[in-house]
């Protein structure tokens, strides 16, 4: 089973679209929606409009994205965990391809799809970048001369094109976004759990990716 987790924050219509895209996939899926809006109108709409099979958690306080995901994760039953941002949605067949890739090798802990910027699927989002001391140093050095900035841009362009041109099969990357990723529960548990709740929002996924790598995935 796949457990899908979506955190809603003042975007019911987008959350409903994301849920619908998951339900259309021909997979054994349970869906968890966690509402962090702290807004009675949002909560009422979710209760009224979400399909009855969707599990809904309404928080009285917004304690952050990481904690909201953990709430649903701890109650979920799936061997695989899908994290999906409410402003994202799956194209037909996406979940099947992700599941096949994730289970193709016991060393793979997390997979993500190519992500489009627009509904017409014309432009890709840039690939995720793993934060590091080396990257911070490069950013600082680039302040010294425009040529260094240009070289850094060319390097990122090379890495991005490598990902964007890979339209079949899989490719290993340095990081994946928590906004659209499928993970193995066994790998999550081996690496110390889903998200560190000290991260209110942002970099919780970078921390998870680091822990997965350290767990030899």
Task: Give the pLDDT confidence of 11-58 residue by residue, as tens digits.
Answer: 999 999 999 999 999 889 999 999 999 999 999 999 999 999 999 999
Q: What is the pLDDT of residue 25?
A: 93
Could you give the dihedral angle defined by the CA atoms of residues 34, 70, 55 and 178, in that order, rounded to the nearest 10 degrees?
70
Cβ distance 72 to 57 under 8 Å?
A: yes
Mean pLDDT over the full length of the chain = 92
Top pLDDT among 165 and 70 is at: 70
pTM of the predicted model over 0.85: yes
Q: What is the pLDDT of residue 150?
A: 79
Rounded-to-integer distance, Cα 40 and Cα 59, Å:
11
Using alpha carbons, select from 189, 177, 190 the residue that is nearest to residue 70.
189
What percent of the chain has pLDDT above 90? 73
Which helix (DSSP H) or strand (DSSP E) does residue 71 occupy? helix 65-75
Q: Which of 69-78, 115-124, 132-141 is least confident?
A: 132-141
pLDDT digits (tens, 9 = 90+) for 98-130: 999 999 999 999 999 999 999 998 999 888 887
Rounded-to-integer distance, Cα 79 and Cα 47, Å:
27
Rounded-to-integer distance, Cα 64 and Cα 203, Å:
12
């Amino acid at each position: 089973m796949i457990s899908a987790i979506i955190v809603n924050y003042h975007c019911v219509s987008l959350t409903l679209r994301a849920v619908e895209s998951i339900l259309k996939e021909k997979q054994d899926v349970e869906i968890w929606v966690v509402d962090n809006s702290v807004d009675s109108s949002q909560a009422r709409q979710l209760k009224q409009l979400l399909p009855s099979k969707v599990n809904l958690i309404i928080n009285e306080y917004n304690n952050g994205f990481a904690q909201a995901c953990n709430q649903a994760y701890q109650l979920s039953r799936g061997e695989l965990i899908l994290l999906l941002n409410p402003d994202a949605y799956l194209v037909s067949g996406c979940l099947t391809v992700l599941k096949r890739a994730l289970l193709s090798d016991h060393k793979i802990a997390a997979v993500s799809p190519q992500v489009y910027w627009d509904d017409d699927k014309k432009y890709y989002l840039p690939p995720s970048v793993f934060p590091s001391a080396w990257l911070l140093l490069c950013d600082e050095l680039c302040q010294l001369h425009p040529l260094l900035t240009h070289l850094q841009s060319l390097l990122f362009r090379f890495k991005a094109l490598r990902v964007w041109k890979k339209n079949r099969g899989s490719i290993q990357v340095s990081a994946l976004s928590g906004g659209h990723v499928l993970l193995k529960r066994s790998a999550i548990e081996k690496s110390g759990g889903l998200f560190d709740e000290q991260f209110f929002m942002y970099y919780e996924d970078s921390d998870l990716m680091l822990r997965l790598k350290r767990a030899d995935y």
